[in-house]
């Protein structure tokens, strides 16, 4: 990875890292009887949460959870995610597997994707599910932000794997990041300076994740990488045409930013910008048709709002049953803000809605 570029973190990224590290030191209330085990699935560290067995109980349902943090921050074991997964295990009476994928700058794309895929495929083996008393027909894959990106990309890959006998019943994506094609969607324009995920910060995450030169940020910001003269981008353009995929309440008066002449060399230098493993929204319709029943949570005050909305619309057009949960007064990352001193109503509200959907559909 470009370690020097990573070390040149913006003040926003440094501040976010401070918040995450602070959360990691908080002493969250424990949830009695939830057994927590750290283990390894096919070379990938995971943390498994098991609620207590009940008398005459059958097999349990399960959630594979992939945490957020821009592919570079946070951990499955950090306080906020540990707390979320314990609450999920207890509330759903489900086995929760939290994936501890490797982070930038240790590794870059596609290694995070490989880690999440390997861990998930290992868990989906019949003998492993039997070891944890999990019902093979009641498994969800889920994640937030960059974890939502990985969950969607892994789910797409699993749906195409002809050797798999067990696949997720559901996917649940929390304010997922799904594309690096257009950084001027209405939500990117509307929320470009909204904490905790400003537009330039999201582009920084992308460049670090894709092992790209951080000097490309100004060009990415104005969509020079997907200009009309960049032939590699042409076939993908309709797959995230927000002028047709977004409702008028999202589009407002914003206009598309499409350069006539851009920089084709960016795509030559960073081909992963158009790799569906990095940008699941770019997947072809044939892949989307294979996706399971889906939940997507989006927040109005979030640059990624339109990523989630466009994916929901494309999945619906492909025949997938989708629940879109749009929170008008919430912001990116709010779901982990549920405990003192940051016990926000936005966090509790989104978490409860998410868990309620899982409870009703898993």
CATH of range 1-179+279-361; options 2.60.120.260, 3.40.50.720, 3.30.479.30, 3.40.50.1820: 3.40.50.1820
Q: Is 215 noted as a catalytic residue in this protein?
A: no
Handedness of CA 104, 304, 323, 311 (dihedral sign): negative
DSSP H stretches of helix in the chain: 3-7, 11-25, 79-92, 111-123, 126-131, 146-160, 186-190, 199-209, 217-221, 231-234, 242-245, 248-251, 264-269, 285-288, 305-317, 345-361
Mind listing the pLDDT tens digit for each residue in 302-331?
999 999 999 999 999 999 999 999 999 988
pTM for the whole structure: 0.93
Q: Which of 115, 182, 204, 302 is the catalytic position?
A: 302
Q: 């008393």: which residue's tokens?
A: 133
How far apart, in whole angstroms, are the C-alpha atoms of residue 322 and residue 29?
34
All CATH 3.40.50.1820 domain ranges in the chain, comma separated:
1-179+279-361
How far apart, in whole angstroms, are the C-alpha atoms of residue 342 and residue 328?
20
Q: Is 162 exposed, middle or buried (0-12, 13-18, 19+ CB in 10 A)?
A: exposed
The reported pLDDT for the residue numbered 345 is 76
Residues of the chain short of pLDDT 50, as ranges, are 2, 4-5, 8-9, 12, 26-29
Q: What is the DSSP string of 311-362?
A: HHHHHHHTT--EEEEEEEEEETTGGG-EETTEE-HHHHHHHHHHHHHHHHH-
Q: Is 204 noted as a catalytic residue in this protein?
A: no
State which H helix or E strand residue 141 sits in. strand 134-144
Q: Which of 62, 98, 142, 145 is the catalytic position?
A: 145
Q: Is 145 noted as a catalytic residue in this protein?
A: yes
Nearest residue to 143 via CA among 174, 109, 99, 105: 174
Mind listing the pLDDT tens digit for each residue in 153-180?
999 999 999 999 999 999 999 999 999 9
């Amino acid at each position: 990875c470009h370690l020097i570029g990573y070390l040149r973190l913006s003040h926003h990224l440094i501040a976010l890292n401070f918040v995450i590290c602070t959360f990691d030191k908080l002493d969250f209330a424990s949830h009695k009887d939830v057994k927590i085990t750290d283990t390894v699935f096919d070379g990938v560290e995971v943390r498994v949460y098991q609620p207590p067995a009940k008398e005459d109980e059958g097999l349990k349902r399960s959630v594979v959870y992939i945490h957020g943090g821009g592919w570079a921050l946070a951990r499955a074991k950090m306080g906020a995610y540990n707390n979320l997964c314990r609450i999920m295990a207890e509330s759903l009476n489900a086995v929760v597997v939290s994936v501890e994928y490797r982070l930038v700058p240790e590794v870059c794309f596609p290694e995070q994707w490989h880690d999440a895929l390997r861990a998930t495929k290992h868990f989906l083996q019949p003998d492993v599910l039997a070891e944890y008393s999990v019902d093979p027909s009641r498994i969800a894959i889920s994640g937030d932000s960059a974890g939502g990106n990985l969950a969607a990309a892994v789910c797409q890959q699993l749906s195409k794997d002809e050797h798999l006998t067990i696949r997720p019943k559901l996917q649940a994506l929390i304010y997922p990041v799904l594309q690096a094609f257009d950084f001027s969607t209405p939500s990117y324009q509307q929320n470009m300076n909204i904490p905790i995920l400003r537009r330039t910060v999201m582009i920084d995450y992308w460049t670090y994740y894709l092992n790209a030169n951080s000097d490309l940020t100004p060009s990415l910001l104005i969509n020079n990488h997907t200009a009309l003269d960049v032939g590699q981008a042409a076939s993908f353009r309709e797959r995230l045409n927000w002028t047709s995929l977004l409702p008028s309440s999202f589009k407002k008066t914003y206009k598309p930013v499409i350069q006539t002449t851009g920089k084709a060399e960016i795509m030559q230098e960073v081909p992963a910008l158009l790799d569906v493993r990095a940008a699941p929204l770019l997947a072809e319709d044939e892949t989307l048709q294979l996706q399971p029943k889906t939940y997507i949570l989006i927040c109005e005050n979030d640059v990624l709002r339109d990523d989630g909305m466009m994916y929901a619309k494309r999945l619906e057009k492909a025949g997938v049953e989708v629940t879109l949960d749009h929170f008008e007064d919430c912001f990116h990352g709010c779901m982990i803000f549920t405990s003192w001193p940051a016990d926000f109503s936005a966090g509790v509200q989104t978490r409860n809605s998410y868990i309620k959907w899982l409870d009703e559909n898993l």
